[in-house]
Amino acid sequence: MASEARSLVPDPPSDGPGAEGEEELVDIGEACRRCGVSARTIRYYEEVGLLPGVRRRASGRRVYGPDELERLAFIGRLKKLGLTLAEIRELNAVYAIAGSTHDMLQVLDAHLGRHLVDLDARIEELVSLRDDMTRYRDRIGARVQQLNDPAQAAGAASQSSKDNKEDRS
């Protein structure tokens, strides 16, 4: 669990947003709406260190500024690209240790390269599966056609027996 000190932010005045030029802070519900994730997910990201230093109002409620919202959006993009939370955590660590976007982007590029290789392999598997499924549907369609035509059904019985033997081999 992240054990960083949390900064407290005063509760906003009851008459609306803060003074001009102040950073806009949103509650967890608004952060969820803007980033398309659940409150539970945001709290989990905070717990595992993907969203460090989340500020809280004096009342104890979490608040998120532009940096946190940008990080949540970045995490969302990385997850859509297939990165695991462990890989995203590694990117955070590289950035925190090296303090360099360049170093973090090199690690990200390596992860994306591996994911592309995996994706290409999966696409080949799916194309092969699609071809198998198409051939099988064609055979089923032909069989249904034969069953609908009684004259063909008699001759197809011997062919079906051959086909079944080929399927088993």
The torsion of the CA quartet 74, 75, 81, 87, rounded to 10 degrees, works out to 120
pLDDT at 96: 82
Q: Which CATH number fits domain 1-80: 1.20.210.10, 3.30.870.10, 1.10.3720.10, 1.10.1660.10?
A: 1.10.1660.10
Q: Which secondary structure element, helix H or strand E, spans residue 148, and what is its range? A: helix 101-148
Q: In this predicted model, what pLDDT tens digit does every residue of 108-161 receive, in sequence order?
A: 999 999 999 999 999 999 999 999 999 999 999 999 999 998 776 566 556 666
Sheet containing 55-57: which strands, arranged edge to edge? Answer: 8-9, 55-57, 62-64, 26-27
Question: pLDDT tens for residues 51-98?
Answer: 988 899 889 899 999 999 999 999 999 999 999 999 999 998 888 887
CA distances from 110 to 72, 87, 93, 121 (A): 21, 11, 15, 17
